Amino acid sequence: MIPKMEVYQQLLESKIVAVIRGKDAQEAIAVAEASIQGGLKAIEVTYTTPNVAKVFEKLSESDALIGAGTVLDAETARHAILHGAKFVVSPQFDSSIAKLCNRYSVPYLPGCMTVKEMVQANEYGCDILKLFPANGFEPSFIGSVNGPLPHVRIMPTGGINIENMNDWLEAGAVAVGIGSDLTKTYRSSGKDAVSELVKDYLKRLA
C-alpha cells in the first residue's frame, strides 16, 4: 500500500484528477486508459459505474493513482479499498467514511460546500476537501475560505473545464477534478481524442 502522505503528494503534483463516470465498466476503462495515455496520473472511478470492481481490477495494471468516487457510505469505502483504491472521494462529508479511511490510512476527500462542513471535515483528518459542485461558486470563494481557514486545501470539481481550470488553480485550488469533457469526447470521437484532450489540459496547466 502506498503511504497516505505519498498519495496526497501525488494528488498535489498531478493537479488534475480525472473523474470517470462510465455507463458501464467497459466505457470507464476506455476513458480512464485514454486519460492515462494522455498523461494524467490521478484517476477517480465513480461508484455510479456498473461493475466498478472490474474497472479497479483492470486499472490496477497501470502506474496511475487510482481512487474511488461517489462513495456514499463506509461499506462502499471498504469495498473500494479492498479493490485497490488509493484514495476515497464522496460528494458529501460522512464521519463514518472518515473514520474507516483513517483506520486504513487512506486519504478521504469529502465534498464540502460550507465553512462549517470544511471545519468538520478537517477535524476528522481530511486534508484535501472537494468543493462540489464547483459550478455553483466563483474561484474567489477559495480565497474567502482561506482567510479564516488558511490551512484548508480545496479541490473544486463539477463544472471545471479547460477554459476555467487555471482560474481555480490561480485562486488557490490545490487540484481540480474534470470529468464530463472526457466522457463526452470519448462518446463522440473515441479514445485517441480523449488522449489529445488530456494533453491539451496538461499544456494549459498554470
Indicate which residues carry an active-site annotation. 44, 130
Q: How many helices (H) and strands (E) does the chain have?
A: 10, 8
Please tell me the distance from the alpha carbon of residue 176 to that of residue 81, in angstroms, as a whole number: 22
Nearest to 65 by CA among 74, 73, 56: 56
Q: Which of 87, 95, 90, 59 is nearest to 157 (CA)?
A: 90
Three cell numbers, residue 74: 463506509
Cell 462513495, located at residue? 71
Nearest to 87 by CA among 73, 69, 100, 99: 69
DSSP H stretches of helix in the chain: 4-14, 25-38, 52-59, 74-82, 95-103, 115-123, 140-146, 165-170, 180-189, 191-203
3-state DSSP call for residue 136?
Answer: helix
